[in-house]
Structure 1
Amino acid sequence: MRSETVLERLLESPPVRLNALPTDQGIYALYDHEGVARYIGVTEMGLRRRIHDYHVGGDGNSHKFSTIYNAGRMFHTRGDLFTHAGDGRAAKELRRMFSRRYCSAVGMPLQHCSKTELYALETQVRRIAPKHALSWNDARALDAYEPTELLNEFLKEISWPSAKSEAIARQAGRWGQKVAAATASGDV
């Protein structure tokens, strides 16, 4: 399949909810909460599993949705000695729920491609893709942020319990401390 055709499908097909992606291996584009394509990648493990489970579930840079929304009330960092029991888990749970509700993707199943063919296609597609569609690709660090108004609406919609609301408020305070410390040290 031609890389131009693949790119066109990734950027012009309507994105779908993460749990509606195909289960086959393939190439995909991730769309943020504003509906903008930000990342193009491939997976051998299955599109739905890679995106629905991994991109929203981890804490590392290879988990794009989880990384980009790891701020404010959705902030969580592993091994934080100052996090109250359950606060980080509540923030991470909210981040997963938010990403699964507002983010989307386009996945193209490519069942019959070898690993070599899959990665060669990704390279070709990324070579011709517009810059915005690759803004999360190859970034050593992504700038995390909280879409405050949208998150406020979401919290009302899901009737987030008060104990969890208090937990994520404490996490927002920790996020503020982290930003202030980075600013003071010149890391920002």
Structure 2
Amino acid sequence: MIWIVFGAMAVATFLAVGQILVDSDPERARRQIRTTGVLVWVVGLALCLLGKALFGLPLMALGAIGAFAAPRPRRPSRVSEADRRGRAAGRGPHVQGDADPWAGEVGGRRFDSGVMTEQQAYQILGLQPGASPEEIARAHRTLMKKLHPDQGGSTELAARVNAAKDVLAKRRHG
């Protein structure tokens, strides 16, 4: 009877892992796969100790695969990370890290540092002047999906896109 409970726990765990994989957060999925693998292995061990080796051994094998098969992500070197961020901001690899972080390029348009005008904000978001709040929000969301640092984008460019949205929001409310 107890093996049914343990088997149901294992199935529920595998379903949870499947849902996380569908959500497509790679780092969270790796952690969950490793954790689930260890839990499934422990359930298999418990079944073996209770005399249900026929069910326990396959679970132990599946658990070991899950615990050790999920590769750990490689960390990029600091040099390549800095170089990648510099190029993403529209600067060449020859520019040092203390160069103007607010200068950059979004959507093929070059921007310098300083106070952002409404015109620049519209250009950054790729909109025509007078765009509705819904259009501004949609353009901001679309750009952030591409430029967010978690998606391989540049912190500086993501900040420019956020600043553009803020400039246009202040115009609406102030």
TM-score range, shorter chain: under 0.3
Higher relative contact order, chain-length normalized (CA < 8 Å, sep 6+): 1
- Structure (1 or 2) with the greater strand fraction: 1
Question: Normalized against structure 1, the TM-score is what?
Answer: 0.21
